[in-house]
Structure 1
């Protein structure tokens, strides 16, 4: 389940109105199995869930909810089946629109662990074929639907209101980023770190050599991005891409 490596790594180490860190839900605000929604742009919400990694460490994870007309799309499941069920309840109660589908940005359990819950509700979960294979090999929940064409760095597909980009290897070999062009919001997943992070984190499945160039490709493709949401921690702006490049390049020297 890739949790031990994540625990060790963690212990080691916008538009008209910028994202305010103090307003972003933290592990103190969200218990495991629960969910918090925070609207960051019109039609775009961050969903925050947490997991107990042991030794008293409760760690948060970010995904997105993006409006698509009279429905919404999810970027990543919540962290766990109970939290994903809570996410669906929160979307119904706070947004009031049905979930059309979801996309998983890589194979780790903080991105896919609720895939079976969504499938049981008739909600497709899209991912690259590589993510499906890696999730199955890790004995994680496997996204139900494959996105074709995401095999070469720089390739992208449209999924409702979202552009799903494969920038190349990074935090994992299969990591994707997801851009909501109508809102200027980029979900970087775990390829992108919050500003408070000073270490590359869990690199057990990483491609450290490719990671900085993958992030440069993202930066060049979306120069107009206004809000960048990392896989964990506080959102920010495009500076998160440069920050992540810096700390990954430092990790290459370790």
Structure 2
């Protein structure tokens, strides 16, 4: 099932109704929906956790990808407790080990559960810059650095997946992950959902290069059918085109 903006509300409702798509919320703060997991394709699940930024509750997306007899986690859940909850869900609902995880930039919505994963014996990988920026920010630091993606527009393999460093965008170190079999591009926080009318948190953004970073992604993966933003509803390649509208509206 390919994910496009027209179908997103129906699919979100389906995800909420599906058994196992919402975990036990007893430990979630008031108003926090807790962990949600939705299957997008055979062998691909989107996990969504919630936390507050500047007093506003936001959803944060990541992916679980099956590779044969094991799984790959794209970004931890938002925080240690949510990541522990995600591990329980994976054990109970999928029952396969997580072979490795990737953190797509240094902010806490991507790295908040790194220590939990590494304590469970799951190696976490990131752009080399993410290690430095995480340490400077006081966030958990992924122990492993991907090689060969220092230059904007460069890629490297990670099992069945391809990792793109498009250049600075939402953050200087943001990476994207391509799932070639499913034609899914995990854009992370470098991509905004279609419903947004602004660039979001730009405190650590590379506003000058961000448009070029999106053009790199468009040029590399013109066959993408599904694009997953770091926050909000997935869509198709129109999410990448939407970014250029946001850049123009912001005068960038």
1:72 matched to which residue of 2? Answer: 71
Query: SS state of the match for residue 174, structure 1?
Result: coil
Query: SS state of the match for residue 196, structure 1?
Result: coil
Query: SS state of the match for residue 101, structure 1?
Result: strand
2:236 matched to which residue of 1? Answer: 237
Which residues in structure 2 correspond to 1:62-211 (within 5 Å)?
62-211=61-210
Q: Distance in 1 between matches of 2:169 and 2:245?
A: 13
Which residues in structure 2 correspond to 1:13-92 (within 5 Å)?
15=2, 18=4, 20-22=7-9, 23-24=11-12, 31=28, 32=32, 34-53=34-53, 55=55, 57-92=56-91
Please give the per-residue CA displacement for 1:38-97, whole angstroms capped at 9, x wherever unaligned.
Answer: 011111110100103364x32100000000000010000100000001111111111111
Query: SS state of the match for residue 116, structure 1?
Result: helix
Contact 1:33 1:82 in 2 (8 A): no
Q: Which runs of 5+ in 1 are unaligned?
A: 1-13
Q: Distance in 2 between matches of 1:141 and 1:178?
A: 21
Q: Distance in 1 between matches of 2:118 and 2:248?
A: 38
Query: SS state of the match for residue 250, structure 2?
Result: helix
CA root-mean-square deviation: 1.8
- TM-score, normalised by the number of residues in structure 1: 0.88
Q: Distance in 1 between matches of 2:212 and 2:148?
A: 20
Q: Distance in 1 between matches of 2:245 and 2:142?
A: 32
Q: Distance in 2 between matches of 1:44 and 1:241?
A: 21
- TM-score, normalised by the number of residues in structure 2: 0.89
1:8 matched to which residue of 2? Answer: none
- Post-superposition offset of 1:248: 2.3
Please give the per-residue CA displacement for 1:77-135, whole angstroms capped at 9, x wherever unaligned.
Answer: 10000000111111111111110010010000000000000000000000011000000
Contact 2:104 2:126 in 1 (8 A): yes
Please give the per-residue CA displacement for 1:202-243, whole angstroms capped at 9, x wherever unaligned.
Answer: 001111110011101101100111110000000000000010
Q: Distance in 1 between matches of 2:169 and 2:139?
A: 20
Q: Distance in 2 between matches of 1:218 and 1:98?
A: 30
Query: SS state of the match for residue 157, structure 2?
Result: strand
The structure whose RCO (Cα within 8 Å, separation 6+) is larger is: 1
Please give the per-residue CA displacement for 1:175-224, whole angstroms capped at 9, x wherever unaligned.
Answer: 10011111111110110000110001100111111001110110110011
Contact 1:52 1:58 in 2 (8 A): yes
1:5 matched to which residue of 2? Answer: none
- Post-superposition offset of 1:18: 4.1
Q: Which runs of 5+ in 2 are unaligned?
A: 17-21
Contact 2:4 2:234 in 1 (8 A): no
